């Protein structure tokens, strides 16, 4: 009876990358019938010895993704001593990066997992910004890292999305004289909230353009100076009541305002 064909997948991380590579190669031979035994989170020489002990009496290959030089060298040495075929799946490409791009690898395990975690945090923050945009659900105020408040057309939504891409959960609340601000706004720490103000002239200009884009007349009360002054006065009263920092966004790009927000928050707390 033929001895079972085994590939030991050894990694200082989860080992998913190595296993996928092994499976891709295995499909080219006998329909991919090979047994894969994964050894994850290899952190010291003893972990490697455990794999060597299992592998030396088998008809097997060790396929590994180990980036810590001392562990890699030890595995190569022990595999050679026991006449076990060991394949480094990362080093040839890492050497190519070093040679061609003149870059030095970090040699830190689990970097991919860190990148994945960062990615999913960003997606979660973006979904949060969409869900709690424009005061749709006041419950988001108490869950947010940052709460933006201000009158309509002070870039609350673009700022929310920009900050979400930096992995901050942002809720924004429009301040309108006819609508009482949500109670949650006065329950959160003042350091969680940022007020956005704008000059009446600039807001009038922006709102006229907005009305034009919607096919509406520029004389609508939304863009009238009287209405704008009322809204700004109401908003400033709310901001003073909240006690939050205030930023004038009149002639600032979204990136510039976001930078100021992060500077203000950095003084208040550590991210």
Which residues are annotated as part of the binding site?
150-157
Share the mean pLDDT of the chain: 90
What pLDDT is attached to residue 3? 65
Residues 248 and 133 in one domain: yes
Boundary-marking domain end, from 80, 109, 138 = 109
Count how many domains the chain has.
Answer: 2
What pLDDT is attached to residue 1? 39
Boundary-marking domain end, from 65, 87, 109 = 109
pLDDT category, 31, cuts 50, 70, 90? low
Residues 247 and 121 in one domain: yes
| Residue 71 belongs to a domain | yes
Residues 254 and 134 in one domain: yes
Domain range for residue 32? 6-109
For the stretch 86-113, pLDDT in tens is 999 998 988 899 898 888 877 776 666 6
For the stretch 67-82, pLDDT in tens is 899 999 999 999 999 9
Residues 97 and 56 in one domain: yes
Residues 155 and 263 in one domain: yes
pTM of the model: 0.62
- β pairing state of 146-150 and 193-197: parallel
Residues 60 and 175 in one domain: no
| Residue 1 belongs to a domain | no
For the stretch 187-220, pLDDT in tens is 999 999 999 999 999 999 999 998 988 888 766 8
| Residue 123 belongs to a domain | yes
Residues 152 and 264 in one domain: yes
* Three-class HEC string of 109-163: CCHHHHHHHHHHHHHHHHHHHHHCHHHCCCHHHHHCCEEEEECCCCCHHHHHHHH
Q: How many CA atoms lie within 13 A of 71 on its CB side?
A: 24
Residues 125 and 164 in one domain: yes
Boundary-marking domain end, from 109, 133, 157 = 109
Residues 64 and 146 in one domain: no
Residues 130 and 233 in one domain: yes
Q: Write out the two tokens for 182.
A: 């949500």
CATH code for position 24: 3.40.50
For the stretch 173-183, pLDDT in tens is 999 999 999 99
Which residues are annotated as part of the binding site for ADP?
150-157
204: left (phi over 0), alpha (psi -120 to 50) or beta: alpha
| Residue 61 belongs to a domain | yes
- DSSP-derived letter for residue 192 is G
């Amino acid at each position: 009876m033929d001895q079972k064909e085994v590939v030991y997948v050894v990694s200082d991380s989860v080992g998913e990358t190595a296993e996928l590579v092994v499976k891709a190669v295995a499909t080219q031979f006998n329909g991919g019938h090979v047994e894969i035994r994964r050894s994850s989170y290899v952190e010291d020489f003893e972990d490697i010895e455990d794999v060597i002990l299992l592998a030396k009496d088998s008809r097997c290959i060790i396929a590994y993704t180990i980036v810590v030089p001392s562990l890699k060298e030890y595995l190569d040495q022990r595999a050679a001593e026991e006449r076990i075929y060991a394949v480094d799946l990362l080093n040839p490409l890492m050497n190519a990066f070093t040679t061609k791009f003149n870059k030095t690898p970090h040699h830190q395990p689990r970097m991919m997992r860190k990148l994945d975690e960062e990615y999913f945090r960003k997606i979660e923050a973006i979904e949060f910004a969409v869900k709690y945009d424009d005061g749709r659900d006041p419950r988001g105020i108490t869950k947010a890292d940052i709460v933006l408040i201000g009158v309509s057309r002070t870039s609350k939504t673009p700022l929310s999305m920009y900050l979400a891409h930096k992995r901050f959960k942002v809720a924004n609340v429009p301040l309108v004289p006819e609508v009482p601000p949500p109670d949650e706004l006065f329950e959160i720490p003042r350091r969680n909230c940022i007020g956005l103000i704008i000059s009446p002239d600039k807001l009038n200009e922006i709102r006229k353009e907005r009305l034009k884009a919607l096919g509406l007349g520029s004389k609508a009360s939304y863009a009238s100076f009287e209405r704008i002054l009322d809204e700004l006065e109401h908003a400033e009263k709310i901001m003073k009541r909240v006690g939050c920092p205030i930023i004038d966004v009149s002639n600032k790009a979204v990136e510039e305002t976001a930078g100021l927000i992060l500077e203000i928050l950095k003084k208040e707390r550590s991210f």
